[in-house]
Structure 1
Amino acid sequence: MLLSIIKCGYELYKIENYEKLIARAYPQLGKIFQRFVSSTSQSRSSFGLLLLAILQSYVDYGEFVLHDVDPSLLTFFRSYLSR
């Protein structure tokens, strides 16, 4: 369900005044990303698609909130693709 919400938000960014939406949603996306990256549960691999959706948002719209996506990408690749 959270993945669907993030994908819907991603589509909303494409409408008029999307810069304001991005600026308002960015802090929450950051919190979600950090929470799932730091999760130590066994089902951690199931969070991969959620994190990819957030990373896609960072890559496409990070310039509006001055977000350097490199540390987030590095964290994702080390955590999920190193297995």
Structure 2
Amino acid sequence: MKAAVRPSVALRFRREIEAAEAAGVARGDMRLLLTLGELNQLRRDASVGLEDISFAGGVMRYLGVEVQQGGVAASSLQQPGG
């Protein structure tokens, strides 16, 4: 039996961001904590549009959510109260 194919970092967190937003959490209240490896995957993902990632004021954002890079053992989407 084959192992299930894990979605890309971009798709995984797009789904999580959209689900959190549908639950009433504003994108400005979320933080995406990424391992360096997954950050590099996100940056190099050819399926991610230029409009999906921005760099302004020294802050990277994916889909409007601030990205904090490195310093974590596992990537996660942080939300208020979570």
TM-score range, shorter chain: 0.3 to 0.5
- Relative to its length, the structure with more helix (as a share) is 1
**Larger RCO: 1 or 2 (CA < 8 Å, sep 6+):** 2
- Relative to its length, the structure with more strand (as a share) is 2
TM-score (norm 1): 0.34
